Amino acid sequence: MSEARVLIVDDEHEFAEALGERLRLRGYDARAAFTAADALAAAAALAPDVVLLDLNLPGVRGVELLMTLRRLLPRGEIILLSGHLDPAEKIEGVRLDAFGVLLKPVEMQELIAKIEAARTRGLSNAAR
């Protein structure tokens, strides 16, 4: 399997950069985007296998961004990764077919397992 492309969308720069570096050390092609506009541009350019999305970005409703990314990445999977999730947003995220929801801070082992499971589902959907 080629290295998975992971897009981290989070306005906490230091968090996204550190997580991106840790994923790269584990062989992932990880990039970070800090705004909704950057996230959409990066998603279109990179076609990531997995997006780690914080729903609490400035100036945008997280659920709307999730829907737009979903349309843009029919073969990609989206995992919500947030420091705080409104229960309604969590329900809406699951309804909109987010692959999973993780609360920050998250153990690397747990995150990798989720990314791999998401990637497997994405590959299997693409093969249909």
**What's the min distance (Å) between Cβ of 74 and another protein?**
28
Tally of residues, the chain: 128
The Cα–Cα gap between 88 and 93 comes to: 8
Specify whether the CB–CB gap between 65 and 36 falls below 8 A. yes
HEC string for 2-55? CCCEEEEECCCHHHHHHHHHHHHHCCCEEEEECCHHHHHHHHHHHCCCEEEECC
Q: Is 92 one of the binding residues for another protein (CB under 8 A)? A: no
Among 103, 116, 120, 121, binds another protein (CB under 8 A): 103
Interacting residues with another protein between 29 and 68 (CB under 8 A)? 56-59
Among 29, 100, 104, 123, binds another protein (CB under 8 A): 104
The Cα–Cα gap between 78 and 61 comes to: 16
Q: Is 88 one of the binding residues for another protein (CB under 8 A)? A: no
Specify whether the CB–CB gap between 63 and 92 falls below 8 A. yes
Q: Is 3 one of the binding residues for another protein (CB under 8 A)? A: no
Q: Is 18 one of the binding residues for another protein (CB under 8 A)? A: yes
Among 44, 64, 84, 126, binds another protein (CB under 8 A): 84
Among 1, 14, 27, 124, binds another protein (CB under 8 A): 14
**Residues lying near another protein in the complex (CB under 8 A):** 11-12, 14-15, 18-19, 21-22, 25, 56-59, 83-84, 103-106, 108
